[in-house]
Amino acid sequence: MNKKIKNLIKESGIAFGTSGARGLNTQFTKEVCAAFTVAFIHAMAGDYKFKRVALAMDRRPSSLFMAQACAGALEALGYDVHFYGVLPTPALALQSMSDGVPAIMITGSHIPFDRNGIKFYRPDGEITKADELAIMADEATLPAFSLAELHERSAAKERYLQRYTGAFSNKLFSGFRIGVYEHSAAGRDLNRAIFEALGATVVSLGRSDTFVPIDTEAVSDADKEKALDWIKEHQLDAVFSTDGDGDRPLLSDEKGIWLKGDVLGILCANAVAATAVALPINANSAVDSVGFKRVERTRIGSPYVIAGMETLAQTTTGIAGYEANGGFLCGDGLTLGETPLAALPTRDAILPALAVLAKARLEKTALSHLVNRFSTRYTASDRLQNIDSKKVSAVLAKWIATPNLAMTDLSLAAELHSVNTLDGLRLTLKNQDVVHIRPSGNAPELRCYTESNTAEKADALLCFVMAQLPRYS
């Protein structure tokens, strides 16, 4: 077709968000998928030598077609494709890093059903913002290619399973009943296998043949009710789930209360003996009182958290990272049980759930009791969907320039203490309540985060601000 890659990508309207390239299913044509793939390989070829590329996907109906297009482009360039089928993103990353090859994951994570995305991994971890710019600016011409025939391999699933089952006794969870909310999660069968291998009784819940966009940062009221009902109906000790591609966890305690992702992050960092943590600006500030030697705050998104981890690694060991959505990133020097944990600098969902449940089990205490040890601050979050992104950007620019205008427009009565514009607009009030507003980086959504000294106040503040935001979106 003799068309430049950068023009194909630009004309598609697809852009990189906080985690990969995201867009509508209709935007990911065969040629656009191939263009991203070829540009990614060109970006990697300058720094690494490799003859094959790892590939996997989530359960979205559009994912298979996109995987075939990416594989076809790779084969046209002369690379072998190791296709691992439907797989959690962290399992693909673990395999590709172990093999020292690049990887491509077809997934839209938690975003709506009519969208999808592509995540890219260097042989040593997630791509950088510089890599993203290089992909978007590739001047090469797209080569001729065809959709590939895919043949699934099992090695990545086996490696991921061993990473977590090898750390504990196979009787760790003997007598423990855990519900796995499977929906359409890529790792639903692997999650079951991991808990069963450690002795747990697993109850399958909510398995779906259609895609379910679970957002671990904005848990729906329906899913909150499901957890409460499942705990009672099946006499469960916990309920575990993930988003679509298995890099963001959702874990309930024995009462059926979903844990906030950033609280789970604190608990996990403690459980794996982290001494320093990197986390985004919207994460619960209770982390400051836990006793970690260093806490590095970053913009929202795993590439920024990874950069924060790299900064910490210059002066210390025992480094972890996590996000408000619960995804946990494993640096060097951490342990799971008595076992050294190999670094995996990309979000993972099973690690925080497993580490925290194991800690509660070994200490013979309830998960809710562990949570209460660190619950000095409370957060809440929600989102407006299908916003007018241009209108929101204009309003937010005015608020950032004049924070007191934001206070007035949002009818916030308390006095303003400080402002942080690292990522969006974060207002800290004199009573220490926090309101943080930020457009999503990969969907037409406006996210709002609040923080206070009680859960009730955080929830009430969130409801109040969310009621004001539609006027400005």
Residues designated catalytic: 109
> Residue 363 in contact with residue 432, Cβ under 8 Å?
no
Burial 362-401 (b: 16+ CB within 10 A, else e): eeeeebeebbeebbebbbbbbbbeebeeeebeebbeebee
What CA–CA distance (Å, rounded) separates 145 from 455?
54
Q: For residue 233, count other CB atoms closer than 10 A to its CB.
A: 11
Burial 4-15 (b: 16+ CB within 10 A, else e): ebbebbeebebe
> Residue 187 in contact with residue 86, Cβ under 8 Å?
no
Q: What angle do CA 228, 248, 240 make, to 5 degrees?
A: 30
Residue-wise DSSP of 310-332? HHHHTT-SSEEEE-TT--EEE-T
> Residue 448 in contact with residue 424, Cβ under 8 Å?
no
Closest CA to 244 of 31, 444, 450, 62: 62
C-alpha distances in Å from residue 426, one per residue of 327, 382, 416: 22, 15, 11
What CA–CA distance (Å, rounded) separates 424 from 400?
8
What CA–CA distance (Å, rounded) separates 368 from 267?
11
What phi and psi values does residue 302 have, to the nearest 5 degrees?
A: -60, -35
Structure tokens at 360: 């509660």
Q: For residue 21, count other CB atoms closer than 10 A to its CB.
A: 25
Structure tokens at 11: 């004309």
Q: For residue 174, count other CB atoms closer than 10 A to its CB.
A: 12
Q: Which helix (H) or strand (E) holds 304?
A: helix 302-313
What CA–CA distance (Å, rounded) separates 415 from 256?
36
